[in-house]
């Protein structure tokens, strides 16, 4: 039985003809003064951009984010970045029975498995204040935590990506604590679980993900710090107590640098480790994605989040993955 070709299976210069999700559709103005729509198409293989030129008012009203569309065009590369040259685009007929959820990429772990891993790790947070705060916030944002992406684009930008990214960091953290037993495992695990939880407020959800007003104006780091302070009240905790401040610092410093959005730089060993593990997991996920869609013996497209570098995929036999 042949497998139906997906968006990222098409080679350069190959004709594209398939149903996809219109992940985003931003109206812009071309140099000639005419409007066009900058689109991002998505299915479970990933996403590719395309430009719908000379868009009419009706086109702008019709092609909005979240719609399933029938896309016909050609796969191209523009300055090493893949894109689709659109020949024809129309909304998917209702009788084909397709919905947005059919095209949204999902985490490579089931929700049940992710919930189980987080629940098991909660028992490893032995410091009572940190465990109570983490349990309170994970419970409060439970459904969003296990369904939201970790970002609009770049890394873990798929359904369940937020929890999957968190679990990846926790798995790394467990190994690091074994290697460096002087680290406070409870603080590192608590910080890892909470570090990106503010994205449940910053982002709109897994379908046609956008930034919320709070996400644009405040950002997930400060939003989660506010939630930590607010959670202290029903738990009868002092947000200025040292143990609470240590956990707040883990969240506030995890981007590492002020220019990357952290209000403070890491000032604890555990905070520095969390920052490094966060960077490592995000970078590997981006590289897996871009190199995975690069032909052996070729360089990838430029990765904006990694200083615009291109990465080479060696033309070697694939290493066998461990069980």
pLDDT the model gives residue 289 = 85
Model confidence pLDDT, tens digit, residues 105-132:
889 999 999 999 999 999 999 999 999 9
Are 196 and 301 a contacting pair, CB within 8 Å? no
Average pLDDT on 190-215 reads 94
Count the neighbouring beta carbons within 10 Å of the beta carbon of residue 53: 13
Which residue has tokens 């490592």?
Answer: 280
Residue 323 has pLDDT above 70, yes or no: no
Are 179 and 128 a contacting pair, CB within 8 Å? no
pLDDT the model gives residue 322 = 56
Are 22 and 69 a contacting pair, CB within 8 Å? yes
Q: Residue 153: is it exposed, middle or buried by C-beta count within 10 angstroms (0-12/13-18/19+)?
A: middle
Residues 6+ apart with CB under 8 A from 303: 286, 287, 290, 309, 310, 311
**Percentages (nearest 5) of helix, strand, coil residues in the chain:** 45, 20, 40
The CATH code of domain 111-285 reads 1.10.3210
Residue 242 has pLDDT above 90, yes or no: yes
Among residues 101, 99, 89, which one has the least CA distance to residue 62?
Answer: 89
The CATH code of domain 7-102 reads 2.40.50.140
Residue 155 has pLDDT above 80, yes or no: no
- pTM of the model as a whole: 0.84
The domain locations on the chain are: 7-102, 111-285
Residue 214 has pLDDT above 60, yes or no: yes
Model confidence pLDDT, tens digit, residues 253-300:
999 888 888 999 999 999 999 999 999 999 999 898 888 888 899 898
* CA angle in degrees (0–180, nearest 5) for 90-95-100: 65
Average pLDDT on 188-208 reads 94
> Which H helix or E strand runs over 85?
strand 81-91
Q: Which tokens is 153 given?
A: 């684009």
**Mean of all residue pLDDT scores within the chain:** 92
Length of the chain: 323
pLDDT the model gives residue 40 = 93
Between residues 209 and 25, the one the model is more confident about: 25
Q: Which tokens is 74 given?
A: 């050609």
Between residues 195 and 289, the one the model is more confident about: 195
Residue spans of alpha helices (H) in 259-302? 269-292
Are 129 and 138 a contacting pair, CB within 8 Å? no
């Amino acid at each position: 039985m042949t497998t139906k070709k997906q968006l990222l299976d098409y080679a350069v210069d190959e004709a594209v003809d398939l149903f996809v999700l219109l992940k985003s559709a931003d109206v812009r103005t071309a140099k000639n003064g005419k409007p066009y729509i900058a689109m991002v198409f998505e299915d479970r293989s990933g996403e590719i951009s395309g430009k719908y030129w000379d868009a009419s008012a009706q086109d702008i009203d019709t092609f909005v984010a979240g719609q399933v569309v029938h896309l016909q065009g050609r796969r191209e590369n523009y300055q090493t970045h893949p894109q689709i040259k659109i020949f024809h685009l129309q909304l998917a007929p209702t009788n084909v029975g397709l919905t947005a959820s059919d095209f949204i990429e999902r985490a490579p772990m089931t929700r049940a498995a992710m919930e189980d891993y987080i629940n098991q790790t909660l028992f490893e947070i032995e410091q009572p204040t940190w465990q109570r705060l983490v349990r309170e916030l994970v419970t409060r944002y439970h459904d969003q935590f296990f369904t939201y992406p970790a970002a609009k684009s770049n890394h873990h930008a798929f359904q369940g990506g937020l929890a999957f990214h968190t679990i990846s960091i926790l798995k790394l953290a467990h190994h690091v604590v074994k290697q460096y037993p002087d680290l406070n495992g409870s603080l590192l695990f608590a910080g890892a679980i909470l570090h990106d939880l503010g994205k449940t407020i910053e982002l709109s959800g897994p379908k046609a993900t956008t930034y919320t007003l709070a996400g644009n104006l405040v950002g997930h780091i400060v939003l989660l710090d506010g939630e930590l302070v607010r959670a202290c009240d029903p738990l009868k905790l002092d947000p200025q107590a040292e143990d609470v401040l240590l956990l707040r610092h883990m969240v506030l410093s995890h981007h590492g640098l002020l220019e990357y959005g952290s209000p403070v730089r890491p000032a604890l060993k555990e905070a520095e480790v969390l920052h490094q593990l966060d960077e490592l997991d995000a970078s590997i996920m981006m590289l897996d994605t871009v190199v995975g869609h690069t032909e052996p013996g070729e360089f990838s497209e430029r990765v904006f989040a990694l200083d615009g570098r291109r990465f080479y995929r060696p033309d070697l036999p694939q290493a066998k993955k461990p069980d």
